[in-house]
Chain A
Amino acid sequence: MPNGESIVIIPCSGIGKSLGTVGRKAAYKVVDELRPENTTTKCLALLTMGDQETLKIISESPCITIDGCPSKCAQKNVETSKGRLIKSFLVTDALRSHRDLKPEGIIELNAGGIELANVIAKEVAETVDEISRGKSP
């Protein structure tokens, strides 16, 4: 990032569906493995609860959301909280492009779900790179 700030990757909590686990796993892949030097994550519930510290961070830092389902809780909450939302990803969109990677399991994803998370993580990492280079994705 030009000014050294971290890009905030916010997945939906998605505890009820495999799609949520895919989104969260993709976020962790980016934050912990692919781009640990310039990304971070925040609890979506804190944002929804109006935690002042979290609201300040997402209003000042570029944000990328990853939602499991079309309810788009992460995207809507960042928008409502006046966060600097740069790009939103939806697991169901990725699934449409990779129908062979059907996710199953919530506590532990099947191989298809893990691979789908990796596909999304790669796209998110590319977006992170674009933002870091000062290009709008």
Chain B
Amino acid sequence: MTLAKWKVGVVSCSGEEIPEGTISRIATRLVLEKLRPDETVTICLPLFLAGGEGERTFARLFPTITVDGCEKKCAKIGTEKYSGKPFASLVVTDVLKKCPTLTLKSRDKLSAEEWEFAEKVAKEIAEKVDEALRAQNKQLRSEKQ
């Protein structure tokens, strides 16, 4: 077994238009760079949707977690359409409901509260990464038996 078999793909929406999209991207990068750097990779969504064969193959073979900014769920729908069902899907607006006093305003320079929220979303993604790896381990164990 190669190390690559243990990676989880985190697919974030591009979300340039809305603050929730920026939270999606930053939370995804926080997982990749700080929380689970050895267990995760990411995919540029438009490249994936536009036909990047490497990206699509990866998402077909490895578990993916989609992170969307809004209810349009481009990352989830795109992954399902071109690759397969994601292991888990997060929507930033759903996580935001747990923080009723927070209003997201920034698309570029996040406030301290927005950074804190991005870190909260990142932690939720990291938990899903752990779940995906546990599920994969379980499957591999059962295949060996």
Binding site for B on A (CB under 8 A): 10-16, 20, 24-25, 27-28, 32, 41-46, 48-49, 51, 71, 73-74, 76-77, 80, 106-107
Contacts and interface: CB of A to CB of B under 8 A. Distances in A.
Contacts of B46: 12-13, 44-45, 48, 73-74, 77
B64 interface: no
B36 interface: no
Contacts, number: 92
B47 A73 contact: yes
Contacts of B47: 71, 73
A51 B130 CA distance: 33
Contacts of A42: 16-17
B44 A43 contact: no
What interface size band does chain B fall in?
Answer: 20 to 34
Interface of B: 12-18, 21, 25-26, 28-30, 33, 42-47, 49-50, 52, 72, 74-75, 77-78, 107-108
Contact of A15 (B29, B77, B108): B29
Contact of A45 (B13, B26, B107, B108): B13
A3 B46 CA distance: 31
B108 A32 contact: yes
B68 to A, nearest CB: 9
Contacts of B43: 16
A48 B15 CA distance: 12
Contacts of A49: 49, 72, 74, 77-78
Contacts of B17: 41-43, 46
B16 A43 contact: yes
B78 A107 contact: no
Given A42-B16, A45-B15, A73 B44 contact: yes
